Structure 1
């Protein structure tokens, strides 16, 4: 009888278990909500509205526009996880018809250049330069949501945390590369990997975390063939004065002598068997260069400062 009861209980549990649909995935740093069939991410770093838009875009998402009571309830819930980020977050909207945010709120003001950018060819996706972008217009209001889940309006150039959102239907799975991003280029037949050149700048740690969130890693050049593949991808990126270096998955432990560069898999370049350093590199200029980037003109390794902000290359390895 006890055995029969156990079987019946198991059948009931399986019948009432949540559908696999509730466990949809996007990036590992996004949370899925089955009621809205969408993914969300709270960015706790502060940004102006323009920078928030481009950051979400670089992640394949968009700045969240509250479209329902459920969206507002989700924001309220996210606030509870971050008690120290203040009382307001940026969202998308025109700010019309809402209360003004409190005057005692003192977000950081970004006095960047605000220079616009020409529209890129659809086949050429330029790197988004977040340095200097701004919403410096004292008359322009943007929507924010407070900790109580209420919509207010605030000056757009105020920097605040923000929320990115992507609908599940807009995040198709790339079967070949095993990603939810259409920005990955498949070179599986040649190297066994897919590659993505980020359209946003980041320091080395941020670049590492972004690739990891996509189930990938910062790219590593393992041989001459892979060097030529990555070089070809970089040559397709539209040139600008800012886009001259790209972080890769190699760095050294800081302030440790001798300096030993290792990959994100903890292999030395000698163990990898391929180390395409540019002329006179590595040189540890000023004694502070512990991370590695690719120079656009040569696509070869250069040691650089880890806190610098460059584009970066993610690699998603797949079986050949």
Structure 2
């Protein structure tokens, strides 16, 4: 316990020492425009690109450009989105996929927290040495997974009964604030049966038994009408849940996940 507290203190001091000097190591700063850029090479539709940038806490890059010859032409009355090519822009169908760039303008209020992020909703917990954020707006499991990844974290993985209790306490503290229209009975967490129908693994690849926590609620998992995604009841017991159904979720991150060490 003494060693654990010592390591936790060192991590805390390290996180404080980098405050105010970074945004994210995967973004490059450009002094001419006064902000950070990130090029996403994996192509996406305009909507998915906008969503990914938004989840990273930034926006799709905007810049002064001119139209390519003959553009915009709104071909077949179906081109409502814009792409940059060879220094000029053209209108395209929003379902087409392209690489994209996200941008974050440098402002005076960008402060790196002890969690190694500018997102102040992540709170450091001494029990695990990791940070956690409760998302009150419910999302399907895959979208929750994407949201955590964009924030430099991951859907919370339970590694012990003590961590399960920690998540329960976070759940309890936010239960009354969950947005209407989403399930309040469970939260999405980082486990899935990967369509193996009963072989439950964490998003890190371990079985939940290997990870350290496999305490199912009574009668669970019951695979009711195809419940293949992992969730947790408010009493900290595990549940299998519909992947398409929206539920609140908790993201977990290490202190250095957005820092270049």
Contact 1:263 1:269 in 2 (8 A): yes
Equivalence map 1:103-122=2 (5 Å): 103-104=75-76, 106=78
Contact 2:73 2:91 in 1 (8 A): yes
After superposition, the Cα gap between the structure-2 partners of 1:195 and 1:293, relative to the gap in structure 1 and judged at 3 Å, is same
Q: Give the root-mean-square deviation of aligned CA atoms.
A: 4.1
After superposition, the Cα gap between the structure-2 partners of 1:318 and 1:145, relative to the gap in structure 1 and judged at 3 Å, is closer
Contact 2:46 2:81 in 1 (8 A): no
Residue in structure 1 matching 2:229, options 291, 299, 307: 291
TM-score, with length taken from structure 2 = 0.63
Matched, 1:184 2:122: yes
Matched, 1:45 2:44: yes
After superposition, the Cα gap between the structure-2 partners of 1:214 and 1:270, relative to the gap in structure 1 and judged at 3 Å, is same
Matched, 1:266 2:223: no
Aligned to 1:239: 179
Aligned to 1:111: none
After superposition, the Cα gap between the structure-2 partners of 1:193 and 1:279, relative to the gap in structure 1 and judged at 3 Å, is same
Aligned to 2:195: 254
Q: Return the alpha-carbon distance in structure 2 between the equivalents of residues 303 and 217 of structure 1.
A: 19
Q: How many residues align?
A: 225
SS at the partner of 2:126?
Answer: helix
Aligned to 1:60: 57
Q: Which deviations, in whole Å up to 9, do the C-alpha atoms of 1:162-197 show, x marking residues without a partner? A: 6532124478353411223223123x2344321123
SS at the partner of 1:280?
Answer: coil
Q: Return the alpha-carbon distance in structure 2 between the equivalents of residues 170 and 292 of structure 1.
A: 40
Task: Give the gaps of 5 or more residues in structure 1.
Answer: 1-22, 73-86, 88-97, 108-141
Contact 1:101 1:154 in 2 (8 A): no
Matched, 1:223 2:223: no
Larger Rg over CA atoms? 1
Deviation at 1:240, TM superposition (A): 0.9
Higher relative contact order (CA 8 A, sep 6+): 2
Contact 2:153 2:252 in 1 (8 A): yes
Task: Give the gaps of 5 or more residues in structure 2.
Answer: 1-20, 257-261
After superposition, the Cα gap between the structure-2 partners of 1:56 and 1:253, relative to the gap in structure 1 and judged at 3 Å, is closer
After superposition, the Cα gap between the structure-2 partners of 1:62 and 1:239, relative to the gap in structure 1 and judged at 3 Å, is same
TM-score, with length taken from structure 1 = 0.54
Q: Which deviations, in whole Å up to 9, do the C-alpha atoms of 1:62-89 show, x marking residues without a partner? A: 34332x46xx8xxxxxxxxxxxxxx9xx
Residue in structure 1 matching 2:88, options 150, 156, 159: 150
SS at the partner of 1:285?
Answer: coil
Aligned to 1:32: 28
Matched, 1:314 2:254: no
